[in-house]
Amino acid sequence: MNASTPTRIVIDLTTASSERVLLPAMRRRVYHSYSENLNAGVASYCLEEIMAEKIRSLFQRVRHRDIYDIRYLADRVNPDTVRNILLRKCESEKVVPDRFALAGARKRFSASWNASLRHQMKIVPDFEEVFERVPACVELYTQATG
What are the residue boundaries of the structural domains of the chain, listed by start?
Answer: 46-142
For residue 103, CA distances in Å to 6, 35, 110, 121 come to 43, 42, 11, 25
Read off the pLDDT of residues 5-62 as tens digits, 9 standing for 90 and up: 666 667 766 665 667 888 998 888 877 666 667 778 888 899 999 999 999 998 888 7
Interatomic CA distance for residues 142 and 70, integer angstroms: 14
Helices 99-111 and 134-142 sit at what angle, rounded to 10 degrees? 150
Helices 134-142 and 64-73 sit at what angle, rounded to 10 degrees? 70
Question: What is the SS3 assignment for 33?
Answer: coil
Do residues 41 and 27 lie in contact, with contact meaning Cβ atoms separated by under 8 Å? Answer: yes
CB atoms within 10 A of CB 81: 18
Using the predicted structure, report yes or no on whether residue 146 has a pLDDT greater than 50.
no
Q: Say if pTM beats, i.e. exceeds, 0.75.
A: yes
